[in-house]
Amino acid sequence: MYEKAKKLLKDKNILIVEDEESLREIIVDSIQEYVKKVFIASNGLEGLNYFQKEEIDLIISDIHMPKMSGLRMSYEIRKYDCNVPIIFLTAYDTDENMLQAVEIRSKSILKKPFDKKQLVISMMLALSSTIEDSNNFDLLKGYTYNLNTKELFFNKALINLTKKEQRLLELLLKNQEHIVPFSLIENFVWIENGATADTIRMFINKLRKKIYPELIQNIQGIGYKLSLK
């Protein structure tokens, strides 16, 4: 089982959000040999900050924490990313927690205490289902985008994207049924530096030239959305 875990998790960045230091250390010790990188946060606010700055493939989060709970953090993350898998850890699996976790579309809830095997299996299942659900996106007119490799293709020919172009396209893809406001684009793509509405507009026009103009629809005064019709 652990050999399969290494194959599946070796290229994945994991975010652990847990306020109990001893448990954080146990989780890191349990998974670090299988994954690419582990990011550690002691509360939901720190976790949200890491998610906005780093490329995160899976989140493992406690529910009850100071400053910001795991559930509140996850609600905020879902504004940016509808698909990143989330595993919740809790000592209190109440009906309310369960319901909120379902609303956030978490992959599973692990009740404390849990062992290494339970954690690794939960991670494998969460990432396996995500890969099956959202590996390749058909952007129509011969264009496809692979979320795992972050590659854009036109009729199987690779189109080079900058890191910001990748983040923008992924943000639009993960929220393809919704309008993505300027503020979310600025926070997710430009992170610390910020960007004006004109900067975002010019950047999107540049990206449109690499695909086709109709794909990214401008919602006047609000933001942008993908038009996959």
Same domain, 122 and 140: no
Q: Mean pLDDT over residues 153-172, rounded?
A: 90
- Specify whether 123 is located in the same domain as 154: no
Query: What was the pLDDT predicted at 133?
Result: 52
| In a shared domain, residues 120 and 155 | no
Residues 91 and 155 in one domain: no
User: Do 65 and 48 fall within a single domain?
Assistant: yes
Nearest to 48, CA basis, from 163, 171, 191: 191
Write out the chain in H/E/C secondary structure: CHHHHHHHHCCCEEEEECCCHHHHHHHHHHHCCCCCEEEEECCHHHHHHHHHHCCCCEEEEECCCCCCCHHHHHHHHHHHCCCCCEEEEECCCCHHHHHHHHHCCCCEEEECCCCHHHHHHHHHHHHHHHHHHHCEEEEECCEEEECCCCEEEECCEEECCCHHHHHHHHHHHHCCCCCEEHHHHHHHHHCCCCCCHHHHHHHHHHHHCCCCHHHEEEECCCEEEECCC
* pLDDT tens digit sequence for 83-106: 789 998 887 655 565 666 666 666
- CA 29 to chain centroid: 23
What CATH code is carried by the domain that includes residue 158?
1.10.10.10
- Give the pLDDT of residue 40: 97
Residues 79 and 187 in one domain: no
Euclidean distance between CA atoms 183 and 94, whole angstroms? 34
Stretch 148-167: mean pLDDT: 89
Q: Are residues 107 and 159 in the same domain?
A: no
Q: What is the pLDDT of residue 39?
A: 97
Whether residue 30 sits in one domain with residue 124: yes
On whether both 175 and 203 belong to a single domain, the answer is yes
Q: Of 122 and 47, which is predicted with more confidence?
A: 47
- Considering the domain architecture, whether residues 123 and 172 belong to the same structural domain is answered as no
Of 99, 134, 169, the one marking the end of a domain is 134
pLDDT bracket for residue 203 (50, 70, 90): very high
CATH number at residue 121: 3.40.50.2300
Give the domain range for residue 39: 2-134
Q: Are residues 219 and 124 in the same domain?
A: no
Over residues 17-67, the pLDDT tens digits come to: 999 999 999 999 998 998 999 999 999 999 999 998 888 999 999 988 999
121 and 13 housed in the same domain: yes
pLDDT at 61: 94
Question: Hey, what are 41's tokens?
Answer: 């946060």
- pTM of the predicted protein model: 0.65
Given 112, 134, 156, which residue is the final one in a domain? 134
The dihedral through the CA atoms of 48, 53, 54, 57 has a sign that is: positive
Residue-level pLDDT at 95: 52
Query: CA neighbours within 13 Å on the CB side: how many for 123?
Result: 31
> CB–CB of 147/138 below 8 Å?
no
Domain boundary among 134, 155, 190: 134
| Of the listed ranges 79-83, 119-123, 156-160, 183-187, the one predicted with least confidence | 79-83
Strand bridging mode 37-41 / 13-17:
parallel
Q: Please tell me the total count of domains within the chain.
A: 2
